[in-house]
Amino acid sequence: MPKKIITEDTLPVFLHDLDLWNGKLTWELYTKRMVTRLDEESISLVTLKSHRQISEAFRQAKERLKDVKNHDIKQYGATTEVMLKEMQALKAQYVRVNNDLEALQLIFNNVVNNLYMIDNLDLKALQNAMMTPPRDMSKKGTIHG
């Protein structure tokens, strides 16, 4: 079985690199950088393109870089240039997180709508159960210190 490259631990690295990317951005250049960053032998281009969050962040980075080409950053001083790059990275991260939030809100709304369609479901009991921490986690002290 092939090694799983995109995990909960590595996904933020993939996305952060796109947020900070400057210059020409292609799938090939991005894949090469990620191979180096993650110290892997290779990363499949198909793997990256097929991952929803990475492909969306890549698309957003391409759009951001088109906007950067329209603004000549070099006309400002070095400090301003650094601040502008940081602002662009933060904007890219904001857009990505906002898109994820919208997707999660849609999922939540679908779950709630499906709950209302279940006959004889006690929503108060369900709400109380959801507000109580799982017993096994509270015994280990992971929730209450």
Bigger pLDDT: 14 vs 2: 14
Bigger pLDDT: 115 vs 72: 115
Q: What is the pLDDT of residue 14?
A: 92
Bigger pLDDT: 68 vs 42: 42
Judge residue 30's burial from the number of C-beta atoms within 10 Å of its C-beta, 0-12 exposed, 13-18 middle, 19 or more buried: buried
**Range of weakest confidence among 37-46, 98-107, 123-132:** 123-132
Q: What is the pLDDT of residues 49-77, one digit of tens each?
A: 999 999 998 998 898 888 765 555 555 66
Of 5-14, 69-78, 131-140, which has the strongest mean pLDDT? 5-14
> Quick check: 133 and 125 in contact, CB under 8 A?
no
Residue 30, both tokens: 């991005």
Q: What is the pLDDT of residue 144?
A: 47
> Quick check: 45 and 84 in contact, CB under 8 A?
no
Other residues' Cβ atoms within 10 Å of the Cβ of residue 66: 10
- pTM for this prediction: 0.55
Give the residue extent of every domain in the chain.
11-140
Other residues' Cβ atoms within 10 Å of the Cβ of residue 69: 8
Q: Tell whether the model's pLDDT for residue 145 goes beyond 70.
A: no
Other residues' Cβ atoms within 10 Å of the Cβ of residue 13: 13
> Quick check: 35 and 43 in contact, CB under 8 A?
yes
Q: What is the pLDDT of residues 84-111, one digit of tens each?
A: 778 888 888 888 888 889 989 999 999 8
- Averaged pLDDT of the chain: 82
> Quick check: 66 and 59 in contact, CB under 8 A?
no
Residue linked to tokens 């006690």:
122
**Coil vs helix vs strand at 108:** helix
